[in-house]
Amino acid sequence: MPSWAWLFVAVSGAVLGVGGAFIQETLRADVFMPFIAGPMIEEAMKPVGLYVLLARRPASFGSRSRVAVMGALAGMAFGLVESVVYVLIYYSALAGAPAPPDYVAFRFTVPVAMHAAATFIFSMGITPRLRASVTGQVPFLSGSWRWFVPAVALHSLYNVAVAVIESFSDAFSFGG
């Protein structure tokens, strides 16, 4: 796989994943969004670069493990961009002060690793069979759901854990 493909997957995962997260944030009206729909949107959007490669260059797609590693790269890129937004924009706006070092350290490790892991899992299901399902050659998303559901579940459980921690700890709250 050429180096431009890796860069394309990382950049598209960051940009389009953030687009999905923005949609999630604007629609956040109830408990359903951050714990179910949000993770579904983000997990579907982060590997967009892989979808494009699958559609445009299926012969050069590579092994399932290579695709999963590329997915993890997209998830990591998204997680880094999301963490920058949380640290520089959300925290400062809500707390009225710069983010403390422990919050910054958390944001740039745990969520980034979770996004990389979740996208790695889902990317295991991004195979030529997914392309065949989109074109109607096999039942829609056959074979991909068993990878998508665990990725969304991991992301959802992470969101629940953070919400619980925030409710019991001032360390992760936005000062309010």
DSSP 74-98: HHHHHHHHHHHHIIIIIHHHHHSSP
pLDDT score at 37: 82
pLDDT score at 164: 87
Confidence of residue 143 (pLDDT cuts 50, 70, 90): confident
Q: Is the pLDDT at 59 greater than 60, yes or no? A: yes
- Torsion of the alpha carbons at 24, 148, 11 and 2, rounded to the nearest 10: -170
CA atoms of 52 and 61, how far apart (whole Å): 10
Confidence of residue 23 (pLDDT cuts 50, 70, 90): low
Closest CA to 126 of 52, 20, 42, 19: 52
**DSSP 8-state assignment for residue 155:** H
pLDDT score at 176: 35
Asked whether the beta carbons of 71 and 148 are under 8 A apart, the reply is: no
Q: Is the pLDDT at 12 greater than 70, yes or no? A: yes
State pTM to two decimals. Answer: 0.85
Confidence of residue 57 (pLDDT cuts 50, 70, 90): confident
CA atoms of 43 and 151, how far apart (whole Å): 7
pLDDT score at 75: 95
Tell me what percent of the chain is helix, strand and coil, each rounded to the nearest 5: 75, 0, 25
9 against 28, higher pLDDT: 9
Confidence of residue 150 (pLDDT cuts 50, 70, 90): very high
97 against 108, higher pLDDT: 108
Asked whether the beta carbons of 122 and 47 are under 8 A apart, the reply is: yes
